[in-house]
Amino acid sequence: MSSSTIGSTQWMPEVRCWCGEVAPVKMSWSTANPGKRYRACPHYGGNGNCWYFEWIDNDVSERVSRVIRGLLKRLDKKEMEIQELQTLIEKENVALVCVGIGMETSEQSPKLFQLK
């Protein structure tokens, strides 16, 4: 689940999970629950095996949901574009053949250079 910590929750009391850690308030950026706030142990779902999780919001408005889903779609599209460009760069990263242009050498064989 993608999320981010919410900074404007100073009015909310601090909650500790079952393992004693502070469970910060976060906001879901998933497509299933966009904009919903929740608390979860920092070790939730990880190797720490603490499973403290609690939804704070029942639901968010349809407008908030639409805006976040739109942002997620735009982010996915940009990430796909980046991936396509990286693939293109890798394909175009061909060996350059230098046939001794501007080089004083008696070698007749070409030199190969690869871009990194």
Region 101-111: what's the mean pLDDT?
A: 53
pTM of the model: 0.51
Give the pLDDT confidence of 67-92 residue by residue, as tens digits. Answer: 888 888 899 999 999 999 988 877 76
The dihedral through the CA atoms of 14, 17, 18, 21 has a sign that is negative
Whether the predicted pLDDT of 114 surpasses 60: no
Sheet of 37-40, strands arranged across: 3-5, 25-28, 37-40, 53-55
Burial 53-74 (b: 16+ CB within 10 A, else e): eeeeeeebeeeebeebeeeeee
- Structure confidence by residue, pLDDT tens digits, 16-60: 888 888 889 998 888 788 888 899 888 887 666 788 888 987 777
**Model pLDDT, residue 79:** 94
